[in-house]
Structure 1
Amino acid sequence: MSIEGLGFGYRERASYASDPRSSRGRLVVEIESPTRTVFQRDRDRIIHSTAFRRLKHKTQVFIAHEDDHFRTRLTHTIEVAQIARALARSMFLDEDLAEAIALVHDFGHTPFGHTGEDALDAKMAEFGGFDHNAQSLRIVTKLERRYAEFDGLNLCWETLEGLVKHNGPLIGPHAASQPVPLAVLEYNRRNDLELDRFASLEAQCAAIADDIAYNAHDIDDGLRSGLLSLDRLADVAIIGDILRSVREKYPALDDTRTTHEIVRRQITLMVEDVIRQSQANIAALKPQTIRDVHEAGRKIVDFSPEMREAEKALKKYLYANLYFHESVVRVRKSAERIVAELFDAYFADVGNMPEGWREGREGASEAQRARHVADFLAGMTDTYAVREYRRLFDRTPELA
């Protein structure tokens, strides 16, 4: 095949963007593709992974069986990737890297969303805890088993750095106070991800795209569920102004179309705010290279101060009226029990685990056995967790 004249994605980028031609490479050296950049190849590996397919049956906010139209982890991930690409394109960054990080960022989530994570973290408290971001790293560096020459997906340094640090540095003066997960520290000893520095702008695009996506689609799903109402949203930051504008222009519009109009306007408003603020930050900091981004000492891709305050107020409203609504909490308690009891059953007897997960556990320490169980449990979809619960306990758990 002649590759003359093919487009490889080596288009014009800002000098401070991530450049696939200058990638720091993969932990296991491979011959690179003649038709794809390293970031495009990472994106493709992520999409073809088992962990990516599992996202279609993992909870975002509402258990999937409650309504066919609620977001799952997969649809959320796709929405995040679309927004991340748009942000990266507007700043002349590498769209493929931003997309890859967005697509992989939720790989480590348990069944039943954050509820499952909380339950698993409690069970793992004396064995290093459980963190979904660290679990994503374990999946792409160890648990996926697709290739003849290595475990994991052997993603390039820039994709792994973005996965681990998209929310900011993990150590040093700019880090959040929580301890660094053990899985991250172990991998970092093999492949230094510079945990004390800020990630690329592409990773920052993926991180803020996550905020934009779930703020918007949780409003949509909340209205669909009946736990939120348009009238009650009239006084909520960001949403109230949009609702008034929609009703003024379309006074006879039905609630379904009004909801979609609110969501699309909300996304547009937040995306455009991020672009304006990020352009201002770039102009003020004047980064010339990717190293300048790593050492900037602050996030560059960000909301304006006004939008950040409005976004915090919106999150506060959603926590009070949606995420901790009594009907959601009731389902959460059932989901917590499923995860906790499954963990106990597997931890007590590895023979309770399916074939392929029992083997090679002889002589394992308690900590190793617990992590093995956590790896298995975290990979489950909601539906598989319910099936396993039914198999082990001969009863179907109630999730309502």
Structure 2
Amino acid sequence: MQWTSLLSAERVCDPKYVEGQNRSIFVQDHDRIIFSAPFRRLANKTQVHPLYDHDHIHHRLIHSVEVSSVGRSLAMRIGHWLIEQGEIAEGDDHLLANIVQAACAAHDIGNPPFGHSGEAAIGDWFREKFSEGAGLFADAGQGLQAELTAFEGNAQGFRILTRLEMYRNEGGMRLSKAVLGAFMKYPVTAGTRVALPEKTPPYAGLKKFGLFQSEAAIFADAAHSLGLPEENSDAGRWWRRHPLVFLVEAADDICYNIVDLEDAFTSGDLPFDVVRDRLNTLANQTNRDTAGMTQAEQIALLRALAIGSAISVCVEAFKENYAAIMDGTFSEALIDASARAEAFRAIKALARDRIFTSARKTELEILGRKVIRNVMDEVLPVYEAMAAQGWQAEALPDHAAQIARALSLDLRDIDAPDKALHGLADFVSGMTDRYALRMSRLFSA
């Protein structure tokens, strides 16, 4: 892969666009993302703790802002090193930083309400409906079933960026191909991924799927311009990751691992000494004087030092694995290839055993699953009525029309079962935690 192609500023569906003299196209991409409604909705979507009343607990929007900050720092340092190595031109370090910052801001934009449990709830609901095989689900192909029964926020995010928001069905936000490449952690469709032979060598980009078939052509065009290596087989095609994906992924890994600890202390799920010791290990056993600091202030200091240390070791991991990253064969997260890998593994184990299993979080995940199922059960008849009326929204019977109006359902372009099912997924995944709860209560009244 070559940086001259990887930094492509060409917009999807708008190849003749020319950036302004005083504003980089990648800065414009960042602004389009953060001013969008899907980004604003992240303020009321779960990071770890659903429906939490504590003002200092992270939600998805704050997490995304923090990830974009860390990603920018990573990219500036990598960019400076690439200039020293003669890999990119003087000044292009700022392009890297702007690209990664934009991709980081968008990295969770497709997440449904209630976090990963919300993804599972949506997928489980679709799995049950496909197994019944009635109505809209009767003749669905394997590809559609694969992408909805394992519903994936990453693929929904790409759909929002390239189809649903701004220029609907005409490129969406029309972001640059470089930003879309840096965003795409899993450059494969669900249908291709499940059809790949079991002997396919493990690759980080195949861990999940990041594309719905409906947006596959958009990414294929971007991947061609970026020069991403393409893999073809009888199962279909997929691509190797853009090198900047590893920086976006590292920024996310750094933030959620470290900040989840801080939130666990704030919420009372973990005691001070446990959080202090884990963060101190990441911070390389700092000897800063903390006399006179409150426990919360000490944790905040250690969090900042830990993030700085993690950035440094991930930069070094990128340098050490640069050749494999650029030929598309590197297949680890940078934190796992870094000098702090063991410390991060300890944090992940602690989170798995004591944070993600806390009683309050578990109770609210159960509630969230019920809420999502209730809403999907009540909204499905609107799309079934659309099918019965020949996909004419104006011909909907009174009750279905009432529900569509009450929920502001966007029924444009719904003219086939697959589009109807994706339309349902678009609506449900776009809900905030609190809106989903309110709609569920409305339907249960």
Alignment TM-score > 0.5, same fold: yes
Q: What's 1:137 paired with?
A: 158
- Counterparts of 1:145-164 in structure 2 under 5 Å? 146-147=166-167, 150=170, 152-164=172-184
Counterpart CA distance in 2 for 1:181 and 1:209 is 18
Q: What's 1:339 paired with?
A: 372
Q: 1:53 aligns with which of 40, 45, 49?
A: 40
Counterpart CA distance in 2 for 1:234 and 1:44 is 36
- Write out per-residue CA displacement over residues 247-268 of structure 1, whole angstroms, 9 at most, x where no aligned residue: x833553211111122112111
Q: What's 2:309 paired with?
A: 269
Amino acid paired to 2:101: E
Amino acid paired to 1:256: A
- Write out per-residue CA displacement over residues 133-187 of structure 1, whole angstroms, 9 at most, x where no aligned residue: 000011111111x34893511112222222223x67776645355564661x442
Q: What's 1:392 paired with?
A: 443
Aligned length: 365
Q: What's 2:235 paired with?
A: none
Displacement after TM superposition at 1:357 (Å): 1.7
Aligned Cα root-mean-square deviation (Å): 3.0
- Write out per-residue CA displacement over residues 20-75 of structure 1, whole angstroms, 9 at most, x where no aligned residue: 5x435423334222233332221121122111111111111113442111111000
TM-score by length of 2: 0.73
Q: What's 2:319 paired with?
A: 279
Instruction: Give the direction of change, closer, same or farther, for the CA distance of 1:277–1:364 in structure 2 (3 Å limit).
Output: closer
- Counterparts of 1:115-264 in structure 2 under 5 Å? 115-125=117-127, 126=130, 127=145, 128-129=147-148, 130-144=151-165, 146-147=166-167, 150=170, 152-165=172-185, 173-176=201-204, 180=209, 183=212, 185-192=213-220, 193=223, 194=228, 196-233=238-275, 236=278, 239=280, 245=286, 249-264=289-304
Whether the aligned pair in 1 keeps the contact of 2:69 and 2:101 (CA below 8 Å) is yes
Q: What's 2:90 paired with?
A: none
2:105 is the alignment partner of 1:103: yes
Instruction: Give the direction of change, closer, same or farther, for the CA distance of 1:230–1:17 in structure 2 (3 Å limit).
Output: farther
Counterpart CA distance in 2 for 1:263 and 1:102 is 20
Counterpart CA distance in 1 for 2:153 and 2:168 is 27
Q: Which aligned segments of 4 or more residues in structure 1 are displaced greater than 6 angstroms?
A: 168-172
- Write out per-residue CA displacement over residues 245-297 of structure 1, whole angstroms, 9 at most, x where no aligned residue: 46x83355321111112211211111111122223333xx3xxxxxx855241
Amino acid paired to 1:207: E
Instruction: Give the direction of change, closer, same or farther, for the CA distance of 1:313–1:19 in structure 2 (3 Å limit).
Output: same
Q: What's 1:31 paired with?
A: 17
Of 173-182 and 83-92, the range deviating more from structure 2: 173-182
Counterpart CA distance in 1 for 2:433 and 2:170 is 29
Amino acid paired to 2:329: G
Counterpart CA distance in 2 for 1:278 and 1:250 is 33
Instruction: Give the direction of change, closer, same or farther, for the CA distance of 1:202–1:358 in structure 2 (3 Å limit).
Output: closer
Amino acid paired to 1:274: C
2:112 is the alignment partner of 1:79: no
Instruction: Give the direction of change, closer, same or farther, for the CA distance of 1:344–1:147 in structure 2 (3 Å limit).
Output: same
Whether the aligned pair in 1 keeps the contact of 2:161 and 2:174 (CA below 8 Å) is yes
Counterpart CA distance in 2 for 1:138 and 1:241 is 36
Displacement after TM superposition at 1:333 (Å): 0.5
Q: What's 1:383 paired with?
A: 434
Displacement after TM superposition at 1:371 (Å): 2.0
Counterpart CA distance in 1 for 2:338 and 2:44 is 36
Whether the aligned pair in 2 keeps the contact of 1:84 and 1:98 (CA below 8 Å) is yes
